[in-house]
Amino acid sequence: MKREMLWKQEGFDKAACMDFAEGYKKFISDNKTEREAVAGVIEELKNHGAASLDEVLEKGVKPEPNQLIYADMMKKSLMIFRMGSAPLTDGLRILGAHVDSPRLDIKQNPLYEDHEMAYLDTHYYGGIKKYQWLTIPLAIHGVVAKKDGSVLNIVIGEDASDPVLGITDLLPHLGAKQMGKKANEFVPGEALNVLIAGIPKAGEEKEAVKAAVLDIIKDKYDFEEEDFLSAELEVVPAGPARDFGLDRSMILGYGQDDRVCAYTSYRAILDEEHPVLTTACLFADKEEIGSVGATGMTGTYFEDAVRELMEVCGCYSESGLHRLLKKSKVLSSDVSAGFDPLFPEVMESKNSCYLGYGPVFNKFTGARGKSGSNDANAEYIAFLRAAMEKGCVSFQTAELGKVDEGGGGTIAYILAELGCEVIDFGVAVLSMHAPHEVTSKADVYEAYRAYRAFIVG
């Protein structure tokens, strides 16, 4: 089934696509952690008149159609609802993305000195090729919670006047043994330590560089070494997202898995006003490590929010909640592996997705014999085909590589276990899970249009 590239289509709005990409680049540049994404979107929601679910419950008044309501979970996951004109019990249209990305997390006791150089010890988060994090400029984003209850927001390495940090590598002149290792042994995880300083503190005899660093973090960032115990600090690539390619057709940036789908989903629910069915947008945390914990999709926060929304609408019962979820349709908004002509051996060309051909339906993910996969039913796919055709949206279908080459998972199976109809649908990405990933601006814009078409149904 041959499909036409979006850039070749006469009706494709290139100007609108390029304009949309500017907002997206700013979003992923400004929001490199799950906390930043949640906080930034809540601020924008408030500017659009949104109310928190707590405010709605406190008033006890049934929400009006088109009203925006949001709720966060521990400031790292987010739910957005736009009330529909139809009864809530008719079911939801749900766009579920995740906002965590592979990175390096700073340990609780991280700061040390070795041969008069100061380092921060890290533990990598999610599936990464560890060698890709060497010799690139890195930044620190996160929070430090102090015993007095105050929480400091920390960003180091993004402002033009800031220093950047990094992990050094061995010079090729002395790297014969290193180069003989397998790629996954090239650098051990315990060696991903970030070099941060090299000037000793005057008058100190022992660990003088570390002492100087402690003075800097106290004077400039207002915390002490012990405060690392209650900090969440993430090491991420420094710098903004950039146009990629001489024709500016692509975007190079960190964390596009999966903030590309989070942004397009959020913009769709914001811009598609007056829906018939209540729509929901989810920003889940912890997807890259199995969707575990209170803020991961295996947590109960989504069902709890829907339950409370039903209560304030006067239609709650436990059996009614289950019926509502069974009537709901979900796009698990997550990225897919784009076909890379440099690595064709792991892809099956007829069932791969390509940059510039639109967003991607993945009927199933999992590994090998579809292990760990949601597998969307044929009737739901037919419904989605009709919705995309009605919205004049171009799309493609794909699998994640050849059979037995590997595989992956998303939050789709978790929502499917609630009884919802679910399929994975997102943007094709090159260099997935690398510090800098590549997407097509055409795909990003068409995904936004697709999510709007799904909401309308």
For residue 89, what is the domain's CATH number? Answer: 3.40.630.10
| Whether 95 and 147 share a structural domain | no
| pLDDT for the residue numbered 230 | 97
- Cα 290 from Cα 242, distance rounded (Å): 30
Flag whether 166 is in a domain: yes
| pLDDT for the residue numbered 417 | 92
Number of domains in the chain: 2
Tens digit of each residue's pLDDT (9 = 90 or more) over 371-401:
778 889 999 999 999 999 999 999 999 988 7
Lowest-pLDDT choice from 48-52, 365-369, 448-452: 365-369
| Whether 24 and 152 share a structural domain | no
25 pLDDT higher than 70: yes
Give the domain-ending residue among 211, 237, 263.
237
| Whether 63 and 49 share a structural domain | yes
Region 104-118: what's the mean pLDDT? 97
408 pLDDT higher than 80: no
370 pLDDT higher than 80: no
| Whether 120 and 29 share a structural domain | no
CATH of the domain at 171: 2.30.250.10
Flag whether 207 is in a domain: yes
Residues 241, 254 contacting (CB under 8 angstroms): yes
Q: Name the pTM for this structure.
A: 0.95
Contacts of 391 (CB under 8 A, 6+ apart): 449, 450, 452, 453, 456
Contacts of 307 (CB under 8 A, 6+ apart): 316, 321
1 pLDDT higher than 70: no
Give the domain range for residue 116.
103-237
Flag whether 111 is in a domain: yes
369 pLDDT higher than 80: no
Give the domain-ending residue among 183, 205, 237.
237
| Whether 275 and 419 share a structural domain | yes
| Whether 232 and 296 share a structural domain | no
Tens digit of each residue's pLDDT (9 = 90 or more) over 414-424:
999 999 999 99
Three-state secondary structure readout of the chain: CCCCCHHHCCCCCHHHHHHHHHHHHHHHHHCCCHHHHHHHHHHHHHHCCCEEHHHHHHHCCCCCCCCEEEEEECCCEEEEEECCCCCHHHCEEEEEEECCCCEEEEEEEEEEEECCEEEEEEEEECCCCHHHHCCCCEEEEEEEECCCCCEEEEEECCCCCCCCEECCCCCHHHCHHHHCCCHHHCCCHHHCCEEEECCCCCCCCCCHHHHHHHHHHHHHHCCCHHHHHHEEEEEEECCCCEEECCCCCEEEECCHHHHHHHHHHHHHHHHCCCCCCEEEEEEEECHHHCCCCCCECCCCHHHHHHHHHHHHCCCCCHHHHHHHHHCCEEEECCCEEECCCCCHHHCCHHHCECCCCCCEEECECEECCCECCCECCHHHHHHHHHHHHHCCCCCEECCCCCCCCCEECCCHHHHHCCCCEEEEEECEEECCCCCCEEEEHHHHHHHHHHHHHHHHC
Give the domain-ending residue among 195, 212, 237.
237
Tens digit of each residue's pLDDT (9 = 90 or more) over 135-161:
999 999 999 999 999 999 999 999 999
200 pLDDT higher than 80: yes
| Whether 88 and 31 share a structural domain | yes
Tens digit of each residue's pLDDT (9 = 90 or more) over 30-59:
999 999 999 999 999 999 999 999 999 999
| Whether 129 and 39 share a structural domain | no
| Whether 119 and 88 share a structural domain | no
352 pLDDT higher than 70: yes
| Whether 318 and 214 share a structural domain | no
Residue 426 pLDDT class (50, 70, 90 cuts)? very high
| pLDDT for the residue numbered 65 | 97
Region 12-19: what's the mean pLDDT? 97
Flag whether 414 is in a domain: yes
Tens digit of each residue's pLDDT (9 = 90 or more) over 211-263:
999 999 999 999 999 999 999 999 999 999 999 999 999 999 999 998 999 99
| Whether 267 and 381 share a structural domain | yes
| Whether 258 and 380 share a structural domain | yes
